[in-house]
């Protein structure tokens, strides 16, 4: 991953020797991936190598925070073997592995109407954003006439409206700042590129606020419409309150719940199986305040359902299960576990984009304030797995498991009764 992440110095923690680092890796290597990520994030030790200093050329190295800090190499390089093993790959996987966040992927050819607002809010909350242009194997790293490179991972470093003024009008232009991690002269050459005539329409004060520089540093501005027209894929990694985000950014409100689908107990399958669907784990969430600057008075929400420990199971020949989730509106917020009769007569308010055999399925929704129940499930019943359900919102909210005789852990004995 091209971004180097900043972490504050841990109190009373001295530099570890190479022997200690190797010993720690040996102990971590025998744990499953999710345990490593959770423990490292909780203890703030995901980045451990003090021999990896940042310089002025480092991506996102803009200014030092008031407190002391160090830049450290992600320990994931040890798990992968080397930096060479980290070359290429999916930007989304890198962002999740480095931060523990939730990554949404947008096809810019089918961009939602409110994408600029989504990006602007994500930027204000310290989310990480990456973009790219698809490429055939023979086109990887091929430079186009507009200066952009195919099959290359770019970072989005700012999203804002820029004031422009002419003799006839004054208006705000939606703009996106993009960074080529190579940090060289390979930059966008279209409208609003470095030294283009359009910048004469922007005041010196506005330029200063933008931190505008015209250097061969790989960073450039684009009009939002040019961004959507020329890039094909956008990935946004949303960071919760426990993640390491940008300094000064107000993070997303987030909650997470761990659960399990247990055969004959809480593995009811999807709505295609009405006899057992109600036995799936259920989680109530209460949304109280609509988002700021939302004309529809709705609450933006991102829900991510991840099946845990499946990477390790691949060694045993086990593949990802097909998973998804449904959301139901509650008329009475104090309603207990929803039963078979309820699901027979009530349609879901929203659902995951699909049921898919992926490590994680993610959906973004706009819901009116109120109480809802989220039902995560496998597509077919009686398939066992542990899962992690994560919910992200702009405003504070409440979520908790719904007490159910069916949703018990794997160590319990239960039946559908």
Active-site choice (152, 230, 238, 280): 152
346 belongs to the catalytic site: no
Q: What is the CA radius of gyration of the chain?
A: 23
Roughly how many angstroms between the first and final C-alpha of the chain, as a whole number? Answer: 50
The alpha carbon of 344 is separated from its chain's Cα centroid by a whole number of angstroms, namely: 34
284 within 8 A of 389, measured Cβ to Cβ: no
Token pair belonging to 71: 């830049």
Taking Cα atoms as reference points, which of 157, 159, 194 lies closest to residue 178? 157
301 within 8 A of 364, measured Cβ to Cβ: yes
Token pair belonging to 401: 């498991």
What single string gives the DSSP state of each residue in 384-411? -EEEEEEEEESS-EEEEEPP-SS---TT
Question: How far is it, in rounded angstroms, from Cα 305 to Cα 325?
Answer: 8
Taking Cα atoms as reference points, which of 399, 402, 397, 351 lies closest to residue 377? 351
Question: How far is it, in rounded angstroms, from Cα 101 to Cα 266?
Answer: 27
Active-site choice (146, 180, 230, 272): 180
Q: Which contiguous run of DSSP H or E holds residue 115?
A: helix 115-124
334 belongs to the catalytic site: no
- Name every residue whose Cβ is closer than 8 Å to that of residue 285 and which is 6 or more positions away in sequence: 255, 371, 372, 373, 374, 391, 397, 398, 399
Neighbours of 333 (CB within 10 A): 11
Catalogue the active-site residues.
152, 180
């Amino acid at each position: 991953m091209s971004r180097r992440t900043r972490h504050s110095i841990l109190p009373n923690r001295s530099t570890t020797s190479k022997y200690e680092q190797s010993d720690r890796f040996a102990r971590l290597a025998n744990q499953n991936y999710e345990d490593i990520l959770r423990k490292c994030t909780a203890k703030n030790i995901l980045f451990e190598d003090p021999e990896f200093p940042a310089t002025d050329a480092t991506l996102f190295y803009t200014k030092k925070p008031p407190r002391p800090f160090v830049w450290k190499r992600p320990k994931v390089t040890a798990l992968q073997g080397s930096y060479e093993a980290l070359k290429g790959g999916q930007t989304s996987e890198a962002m999740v592995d480095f931060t523990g966040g939730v990554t949404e992927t947008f096809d810019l050819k089918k961009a939602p109407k409110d994408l600029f607002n989504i990006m602007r809010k994500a930027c204000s909350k310290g989310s990480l954003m990456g973009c790219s242009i698809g490429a055939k194997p023979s086109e990887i790293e091929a430079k186009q006439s507009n200066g952009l490179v195919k099959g290359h991972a770019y970072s989005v470093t700012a999203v804002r409206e820029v004031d422009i003024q002419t003799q006839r009008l004054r208006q705000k232009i939606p703009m996106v700042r993009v960074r080529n991690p190579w940090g060289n002269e390979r930059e966008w050459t279209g409208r609003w590129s470095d030294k283009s005539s359009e910048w004469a329409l922007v005041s010196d004060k506005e330029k200063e606020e933008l931190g505008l520089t015209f250097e061969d540093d790989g960073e450039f501005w684009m009009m939002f419409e040019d961004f959507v027209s020329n890039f094909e894929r956008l990935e946004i990694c949303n960071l919760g309150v426990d993640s390491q985000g940008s300094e000064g950014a107000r993070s997303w409100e987030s909650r997470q719940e761990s659960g399990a689908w247990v055969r004959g107990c809480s593995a009811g399958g999807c709505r295609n199986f009405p006899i057992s669907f109600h036995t799936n784990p259920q989680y109530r969430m209460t949304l109280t305040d609509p988002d700021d600057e939302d004309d529809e008075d709705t609450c933006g929400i991102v829900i991510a359902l991840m099946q845990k420990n499946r990477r390790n199971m691949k060694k045993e020949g086990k593949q990802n299960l097909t998973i998804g989730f449904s959301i139901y509106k509650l008329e009475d917020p104090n309603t207990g576990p929803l039963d078979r009769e309820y699901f027979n007569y009530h349609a879901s308010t929203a659902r995951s984009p699909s049921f898919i055999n992926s490590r994680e399925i993610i959906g973004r929704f706009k819901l009116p304030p109120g109480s809802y129940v989220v039902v995560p499930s496998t597509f077919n019943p009686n398939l066992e797995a542990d899962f992690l359900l994560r919910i992200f919102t702009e405003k504070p909210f409440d979520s908790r498991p719904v007490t159910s005789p069916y949703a018990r852990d794997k160590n319990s004995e239960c039946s559908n009764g």
